[in-house]
Amino acid sequence: MHPGLAEPATKEEWRRYLTATPPPAPDMPSPTEYHDMSSVARAQFNRARKAHHSAGVLVRTPDIERLHYELHRRLDVNRYQPAGARRGKVIDGPPTTGKSTLVKLFAADYENELRETEPERFVTDEGQEFVRDYVPVVYISIQAQTTPKDLSIAIADFLMQPYRKSATKSEITTLVLRAMRIVGTELVIIDDAHFLDVSLKEGKVANDHLKYLANYTAATFVYTGHDLEEGGLFLEGSAKSRATQTAGRNDLHRVTPFSIGTPAQAKEWVGVIASMEAALLLYQHQPGSLTRHHGRYLHERTGGSIASLSSLIRESAIEAVNSGAEAITREVMDRVTVDKSAAEHFEKATKLRTRKRNPPPARPGRAVEAPA
């Protein structure tokens, strides 16, 4: 058993991400067998249970399936398109709505499918003029105030291409464009694109750089981030009238928190909870109790964020093991802290519910006599 993987920054780390498997669920001994275990055996078993809970369950929601279908179709359209920039996709949504997870999941599915259906493309060309190492996916997670040169450096680092520290933006960009053509890159993901420096001056430069990369790479570009529609990825500077070519070449997919305002929405939310609950390995947990009794509470605690929900359920499961409660109850979940955004949503929901239950007394008005 090994710790979880960090965000992949090179092609080798990406390949480890592709082949990584979550810790297996241990076989559950009977309650009597569990009670009779030695302290060492029980600690080992609990460690295996907590590892399983830590990994959690990746739920493929209808929105994820729909987006993955659209991305596959876009790649099929672009794959043999004549020279020139391909149409891409921008995935926009608030933090903790699972954008990074869903785009990495798609990229992993896409590359693993290629490895199954076209394995000959992954054989390196030893002894040729260069060693061709087929890299269909380039995944870049960028940092705050990333400049166009920083972006090219990140791609070079992912492809493990050496470059001089004194190299210019143009030199590094030329290097990575040549490398991506050689290794046959088909999909470029720029995660957290809101970190691109899109100030009034740099906004146009960043957009021009993205346009240049897309023009000279036979790849489909996918961007994720939040507030991208209002930022410099779609606008040169801050004037809304100056839509960029980046906006013209990419369509926008919005990812939003789950809502429970309609029966259909509530059913989808409960389905996500049920998928996570089914993976629990706890002796006293009543199957289905989270969906039957705590669906609205979980929505209030997490603001409908799938990332916050996953974190709350996974940590509550580990707390249930550590405390001996052996069930995820309201009391156990109340002991687990959530991210700031989810906590603020829960505070607002609690205040609103309190006001509805205890409305302020009506102000006394002047009495009006009934007509005789």
35 falls within a domain: yes
Range of the domain at 77: 62-254
Residues 294, 299: Cα–Cα separation, whole Å: 8
HSE-up of residue 157 (Cα within 13 Å, Cβ side): 14
200 or 213, which is more confident:
213
Q: What is the CATH number of the domain that holds 100?
A: 3.40.50.300
Q: What is the pTM of this model?
A: 0.84
Cα-based distances in Å from 164 to 47, 142, 153, 171: 46, 21, 11, 9
The confidence band for 74, taking pLDDT boundaries of 50, 70 and 90, is very high
HSE-up of residue 96 (Cα within 13 Å, Cβ side): 19
Q: Is the pLDDT of residue 363 over 80?
A: no
Q: How far separated are the first and last CA of the chain, in Å rounded?
A: 87
User: Are residues 162 and 186 both part of a single domain?
Assistant: yes
Q: How many domains does the structure of the chain reveal?
A: 2
42 falls within a domain: yes
Residues 330, 290: Cα–Cα separation, whole Å: 9
Q: Is the pLDDT of residue 129 over 60?
A: no
Tokens, residue 246 = 């980046």
User: Are residues 150 and 242 both part of a single domain?
Assistant: yes
User: Are residues 126 and 233 both part of a single domain?
Assistant: yes
Structure confidence at residue 122 (pLDDT): 87
Q: Is the pLDDT of residue 206 over 60?
A: yes
User: Are residues 338 and 194 both part of a single domain?
Assistant: no
User: Are residues 188 and 66 both part of a single domain?
Assistant: yes
Lowest mean pLDDT among 157-166, 260-269, 353-362: 353-362
Q: Is the pLDDT of residue 314 over 70?
A: yes
User: Are residues 33 and 150 both part of a single domain?
Assistant: no
366 falls within a domain: no
Distance of CA 18 to the CA centre of its chain: 15
